[in-house]
Amino acid sequence: MDFVSGQVLLVDKPLHWTSFDVVKRIRGVLTRRHGCKRFKVGHAGTLDPLATGVMLICTGRATKQIDSLQAGEKEYVATVQLGATTPSFDLETEIDQTFPTDGLTAEAIESALEQFRGPIMQVPPVFSAVKVDGKRAYKMARRGEAPELAAKPIVISELELLDFDPATCRARLRVACSKGTYIRSLARDLGEALGCGGHLTALRRTRVGNASIFDCADVVSLIESLKTVEIEIPNDNQPSHNKAN
């Protein structure tokens, strides 16, 4: 395989790994295999540590495709806990408020979802990498500050209630959406629309553009295969990859 000219590797990011963890591990193997100081590797679309699923890893010249790849529509399966909120809108922080959920039904959820389909304005979570006055919002939030984030235009092309358990008040959703959509914010907004609060408890990205979760390799298995796979090192490209990028 020619990793210098470029490859797009499809991986299934494990729970608790950061997106940088995946890139770092793959870059480390390719750097050693090519005998250089640092090998160019990047990813198209960040996933939070508490999320799993499709990540596109680009190597060499394929890193030039990152912007176009991450602009593709994304699909997720999300689990939303209704009746409780957290400051981060997910499990990164503890529950701060609980609300009654008496009478909550799948029909009520279906009705509430209608307002989130199509082009909408969405306010990102304060625990996000969005910048406010040049500072990352999540850093400000962790210091106890309350940054005000502006709503941004997004598109949710498909939004489906897969199932709802009245006993636990957990709903599973399938979401197909544009770049820049925060599923944590959707969980918050759905809870607000239902009047009972909500937060994200699980998230799996199942598609990025045409790349499906069924096409993805296990990260650990992929890394092991990269240690032995036959690689091509074009002579005219060796000098540029012997320098740190």
pLDDT digits (tens, 9 = 90+) for 168-196: 999 999 999 999 999 999 999 999 999 99
Amino acid at the residue 124 = P
* Residue 239 or 3, more confident: 3
pTM of the predicted model, to two decimals?
A: 0.88
Reply yes or no on whether the pLDDT at 237 is more than 80.
Answer: no
Nearest to 84 by CA among 160, 188, 182: 188
Instruction: Supply the pLDDT for residue 190.
Output: 98
Asked if residue 112 lies in contact with residue 193, where contact means CB atoms within 8 angstroms, the answer is: yes
Cα within 13 Å of Cα(126), Cβ side: 14
- Per the prediction, the chain carries an average pLDDT of 90
Active site residues: 48
Q: Is 225 helix (H, G, I), strand (E, B) or coil?
A: helix
Reported as a single tens digit per residue, the pLDDT across 191-200 is 999 999 999 9
The per-residue b/e assignment along 152-164, b for 16 or more CB within 10 angstroms, e otherwise, is eebbbeebebeeb
Reported as a single tens digit per residue, the pLDDT across 87-143 is 999 999 999 999 999 989 999 999 999 999 999 999 988 776 777 667 777 677 777
Residue 203 β-bridge partners: 51, 78
Structure-token pair, residue 33: 């295999």
DSSP state string for 64-118: GGHHHHHTS-EEEEEEEEETEE-TTSSTTS---EE---TT--HHHHHHHHGGGSE
